[in-house]
Amino acid sequence: MVRAAKASMAAHVRAMLEFHAAGVPTVDYGNNIRQMALEEGVQDAFDFPGFVPAYIRPLFCRGMGPFRWVALSGNPEDIYKTDARVKELLPHDTHLHRWLDMARERIRFQGLPARICWVGSGTGTAWGSRSTRWSRAGNSRRPWYRPRSSRLGLGRLAEPRDRGDARWLGRGVRLAAAQ
């Protein structure tokens, strides 16, 4: 059974390598599939990056992190109202505005309405205090749940092989991945 699973992972990584060679953004999502493929003889298994070093770590290096909130009321309108408030808080962040607009148009809620966005350090705290005042003033159904923000150290990978990875921060400064 294990042998068949590893052979399947190797086939999967070979297909991913074909996508990567064709210019399709391709990443390992931290499940160690590339290592299993390497052990099965796929010598170029690590020719495409992991998700965290490719997408998440660069955001952390810029001081950005995930900011999430959930409308415990169950009412999607509360999320839409908060989208508008976040836009007011960050009026010049066009990328964030596009994300919030796209999320409203294309993503259907499953379970409690929730939202996530990536913002700079301190923005989540500023939003938290404003949203509390806003809710107390009766502008949304309460309560809200805002999970604790991720720490920058979470930019590390669970994959032992990638622990030596390093990223340039600019001006010749390197950041080594956390062990």
Angle at 105 between CA 102 and CA 111, to 5 degrees: 105
Phi–psi pair at 113, nearest 5 degrees: -65, 135
Q: Beta strand pairing status for 166-170 and 144-145?
A: unpaired
| Among 36, 37, 117, 157, the one annotated catalytic | 117
The C-alpha R_g of the chain, in whole angstroms, comes to 20
Chain-centroid distance, C-alpha 122: 18
Name every residue whose Cβ is closer than 8 Å to that of residue 116 and which is 6 or more positions away in sequence.
66, 67, 68
Judge whether 61 counts as a catalytic residue: no
Active site (catalytic) residues: 117
